[in-house]
Amino acid sequence: MGHGGGQHRMLNSRQVITAVDIGTSKLCVLIGECDSKGRLRALAMGERDSGDAVCKGEIRKMSDLCTRLSEALEDASDSAGTEIDPANMFFSVTGRQIASQRSIGSVTIMNEARKVCEEEIKEALENSRQISLPVNTVPINFVDSEFIMDGNRKVEDPLGLVGSKLEAVSFCVHGSSSMVENYRAAIGECGYQIKHKGDIFAALASAKSTLGAEDLKHGTLLIDIGAGTSDFALFHGNGYFDCGSIPVGCDHIANDMCAAFDIHVTKAREIIQEHLQTDDFLKEQFVSLDRSGEPRRIPSVSIEKVVGLRVNEIFEIIAASLQKSRLKQHLGRGVVVCGGGAKIAMIVKGAEKFFEATVRTGEVREIDGELSKLRDPRYCCVAGILKYGAEGRSGGSDRMRIISGVDKGLWSLITQSWGKIVESIKI
């Protein structure tokens, strides 16, 4: 395996992209190739257990993390039969400081016909990005929303409209600068210096791989429940967006079981993976454990109670941070659950009950290839990072769209003039 230089690596005029997901339970590297038409194919994956190098989205042991991550990178590179180019590497970030802030950028329409041209749109969007953030906080991604004409008319596509003032509404997803730089440093320690802006918030990545046009338009809450964090993003086509991350995930369910039933954490994780993937354990009165040779039985209803409390708590905290009262009107397409949590039946059922909405498990869309792991919701995030990288591959993009209205041709013109490609969730 070699560590690529600054050149973009091409395979028969295809571009190779590498996605890195540094999670609490697993470090995952996905290599894919993107053709000139934007079609994306997964080539290979490398994975290592995170050990205790990462906790709740924070790096605890840098050198341990780098050893493990280097191995995952090498595996992926070897299996793909290609070098990894840091100029085409992208990575997810998470952490409790993740939040979003709405901002408006305005421009006065000065031309004689008072018509909105591409220039005005570009300027309004650029102005919407001029926001002041708390100290030690950096913008991670921008989610572009609607436009407002003359202070009172919401429009999806303002091109050609007549008026005197155009405003662009954007949401800035921001987080702690040291958190972002630590992820970048970890990848750098493995020999890959990412010099472009290659970070994407984990929930946006999972949304990118799993949500379609209708989901974004009619309202969807995406929740990625991992081992140590639950990341979430709420989209609605009428211009509403919110997101965040809480330091609670499936490991807390395992820890609760340890405390409640006096079992080791590995046994609790086994229960999760062997018994909680469906509701079938409730058909039996007991879940049997072999505890160092001594058989032990735990009442199924007790497990249901302990797990149910934690699951409910996760949803309570998410809903509280999303202003619960407004949630319902934004969930036309329900809730999509990704991450290891999506494999726990009580989480999916719990979400249905809690949000009173349809709930589905995230499935990766629009990535070809034979990698069976991409059918597992634990890999929605890394798949989304790959997609994000493919869409912004001419330099790394930091934007998403929740409104579909702006013509794609126009969008690419705007982005070309910025010298970077604005990504858009295809709607």
Ligand X SMILES: Nc1ncnc2c1ncn2[C@@H]1O[C@H](COP(=O)(O)OP(=O)(O)OP(=O)(O)O)[C@@H](O)[C@H]1O
Applying CB under 6 A, the residues found at the interface with ligand X are: 23-26, 57, 226-229, 249-251, 254, 269, 272-273, 277, 339-340, 343-344, 378
Given ligand X, Mg ion, none, residue 227, with its beta carbon under 5 to 8 Å by kind, binds ligand X
CA distance 260 to 418: 56
CA distance 117 to 159: 6
CA distance 113 to 166: 14
For the CB of residue 224, give the shortest distance to Mg ion in the complex, in Å: 6
Cβ contact 69:47 at 8 Å:
no
Given ligand X, Mg ion, none, residue 158, with its beta carbon under 5 to 8 Å by kind, binds none
CB closer to ligand X, 124 vs 385: 385
For the CB of residue 356, give the shortest distance to Mg ion in the complex, in Å: 26
CB closer to ligand X, 291 vs 373: 373
For the CB of residue 344, give the shortest distance to ligand X in the complex, in Å: 5
Write down the residue that tokens 């992820």 correspond to.
183
Q: Please give the residue whose beta carbon sits closest to ligand X in the complex.
A: 340
CB closer to ligand X, 70 vs 94: 94
Cβ contact 173:141 at 8 Å:
yes
Task: Find, among 409, 385, 329, the residue nearest to 21 by Cα.
Answer: 385
For the CB of residue 96, give the shortest distance to ligand X in the complex, in Å: 12
CA distance 222 to 173: 15
Task: Find, among 8, 25, 9, the residue nearest to 249 by Cα.
Answer: 25
Residues making contact with Mg ion (CB under 5 A): 23, 226
Given ligand X, Mg ion, none, residue 198, with its beta carbon under 5 to 8 Å by kind, binds none
For the CB of residue 318, give the shortest distance to Mg ion in the complex, in Å: 15
Cβ contact 206:224 at 8 Å:
yes
Given ligand X, Mg ion, none, residue 348, with its beta carbon under 5 to 8 Å by kind, binds none
For the CB of residue 293, give the shortest distance to ligand X in the complex, in Å: 25
Task: Find, among 362, 341, 231, 373, the residue nearest to 276 by Cα.
Answer: 341
Secondary structure element (H or E) that encloses residue 10, with its range:
strand 10-11
- 28 contact partners, CB below 8 Å, separation of at least 6: 20, 21, 45, 46, 47, 72, 379, 382
CB closer to Mg ion, 91 vs 147: 91
Given ligand X, Mg ion, none, residue 25, with its beta carbon under 5 to 8 Å by kind, binds ligand X
Give the residues across from 55 on adjacent strands. Answer: 58
Given Mg ion, ligand X, none, residue 174, with its beta carbon under 5 to 8 Å by kind, binds none
CB closer to ligand X, 169 vs 289: 289
CB closer to ligand X, 225 vs 298: 225
CB closer to Mg ion, 76 vs 93: 93
For the CB of residue 65, give the shortest distance to ligand X in the complex, in Å: 12
